[in-house]
Amino acid sequence: MKAIKVPKPFEIVIEDVEEPEIMSETDVKIKVTSAGICGSDIGIWNGTNSLATYPRLIGHEFGGIVTATGNSVSKVKIGDKVAVDPVMSCGHCYACRIGRHNVCRDLEVMGVHRDGGMCEYVCVHEKNVHKFNKDFPENMLSVVEPFTIGVEVNRRGAIKKGDKVLIMGSGPIGIAIMQVAKKNGAEVMMTDLVESRLEKARQMGADRTVLVSEQDLDEMISDFTEGEGIPVIADTVCTPASFEQAVKLACPAGRVIVLGLKDQPSSITMADITKKELTIVGSRLNCDCFDEVIEGLEKGQLHPEKFVTHIFKYDEIQKAFDTIREHPQDVMKAVITF
């Protein structure tokens, strides 16, 4: 079968590899129909993703059609359309025991720590497989994973009806968080440095947007919250400065959700946190969020149509990567089809 492989940084190839087969009674074999390209895939390609090892078959956002099942599989059947959760955990460590397996001590993510889903077939444990109950376009099955990031952030930040939420950054992660927050009944303000991205954010549901290069964020927040300050902030910009800014902007008793994986320090004092009794939480990957996303998509509460801006066939992978690198502002989510 064909698979997309990064043998080492700055190289991407389509390779013939052996097709995986059902090895255990709990395995599900899936013909992959679509796989999303993520910023972290670009990071694996250009050597800046510190978690990845090489050579690697990439792809952690993918879905397809079930073609075979192990003897004990009851969750799905042949022909079902499914999305695959790429998160693999040990099941025994502290995080796993308390139901937080997405931060397992021995965490492995398909397409990062082990081979992923940008290939024609995968075999995975049935617990990682989540099926659609209604018909859904084959080339959109991969949008579930990025939306699960949005669900995880909403859960970690306890975002609920009536909350006013600031999302820093209007890339795909910001948009996913926003749509889930809207589904949960929150009001959402989004920021960016690029007006065209804010335009898209408004089209996809953002209540308000702030062009931070030209508009005064403090003033806009004050207007949005009638002077109260912002109670929930999700930082998808993920720089040392954006984290500092999020902590400063949060109103007393506010929540800040952090998504960055950079290891550079920010200047935040104890007083910054204590005085306002802030809740600062990390949010990583997803913890059993697939079914909520699929339900949201099927009920029309989440809107993937404008989210996916580019679709390429698998043999155009080089072109897809080039497009993302050359026109990062025009590409929200690019999808590879098989």
Per the DSSP assignment, residues forming a β-bridge with 68 are: 29
The pair of structure tokens assigned to 312 is 């390429």
Sign of the CA dihedral with 209 first, then 155, 272, and 276 last: positive
The pair of structure tokens assigned to 20 is 């995986």
Q: How far is the CB of 36 from Mn ion (least distance, A)?
A: 7
Count of residues in contact with Zn ion, rule CB under 5 A = 5
Quickly list H helices, the chain.
39-45, 94-97, 144-156, 172-183, 195-203, 217-224, 240-249, 270-274, 290-298, 317-326
* Helical packing angle, 195-203 and 172-183, nearest 10°: 30
308 binds Mn ion (CB under 5 A): no
| Binder of residue 38, out of Mn ion, Zn ion, none (CB less than 5 to 8 A by kind) | Mn ion
Q: Which of 90, 212, 268, 281 binds Zn ion (CB under 5 A)?
A: 90
Per the DSSP assignment, residues forming a β-bridge with 34 are: 63, 337
Residue nearest Mn ion, Cβ-based: 38
Q: Which of 33, 34, 40, 89 binds Zn ion (CB under 5 A)?
A: 89
Site for Zn ion in 156-195 (CB under 5 A): none
Residue 139 DSSP one-character state: G
| Binder of residue 128, out of Zn ion, Mn ion, none (CB less than 5 to 8 A by kind) | none
103 binds Zn ion (CB under 5 A): no
Asked whether the beta carbons of 167 and 153 are under 8 A apart, the reply is no
| Binder of residue 68, out of Zn ion, Mn ion, none (CB less than 5 to 8 A by kind) | none
Q: How far is the CB of 108 from Zn ion (least distance, A)?
A: 10
Count of residues in contact with Mn ion, rule CB under 5 A = 1
Q: Where are the beta strands (DSSP E) in the chain?
A: 2-6, 13-16, 27-37, 56-57, 61-69, 81-84, 87-88, 108-109, 121-125, 129-131, 164-168, 187-192, 208-211, 230-235, 250-258, 279-282, 308-313, 333-337
143 binds Mn ion (CB under 5 A): no
87 binds Mn ion (CB under 5 A): no
Which part of the chain contacts Mn ion (CB under 5 A), choosing from 33-41, 88-96, 105-113, 325-333? 33-41
Residue 273 DSSP one-character state: H
The pair of structure tokens assigned to 261 is 């994986």
| Binder of residue 66, out of Mn ion, Zn ion, none (CB less than 5 to 8 A by kind) | none
Q: How far is the CB of 60 from Mn ion (least distance, A)?
A: 6
Q: Which of 12, 30, 37, 38 binds Mn ion (CB under 5 A)?
A: 38
Asked whether the beta carbons of 231 and 255 are under 8 A apart, the reply is yes
> Does residue 265 have a cis peptide bond before it, meaning omega lies within 30 degrees of 0?
no
Site for Zn ion in 300-319 (CB under 5 A): none
Amino acid identity for residue 102 in this structure: N
- CA 196 – CA 194 distance, rounded (Å): 6
Per the DSSP assignment, residues forming a β-bridge with 255 are: 232, 279
Show the binding pattern over residues 31-70: x = contacts Zn ion (CB under 5 A), - = does not.
----------------------------------------
Q: Which CB atom, from 1 or from 93, has the smaller least distance to Zn ion?
A: 93
| Binder of residue 334, out of Mn ion, Zn ion, none (CB less than 5 to 8 A by kind) | none
Q: Which CB atom, from 90 or from 273, has the smaller least distance to Zn ion?
A: 90
153 binds Mn ion (CB under 5 A): no
Which part of the chain contacts Mn ion (CB under 5 A), choosing from 14-22, 31-39, 244-252, 270-278? 31-39
Q: How far is the CB of 338 from Zn ion (least distance, A)?
A: 31
Per the DSSP assignment, residues forming a β-bridge with 15 are: 3
What residue ranges bind Zn ion (CB under 5 A)?
A: 89-90, 93, 96, 104
What residue ranges bind Mn ion (CB under 5 A)?
A: 38
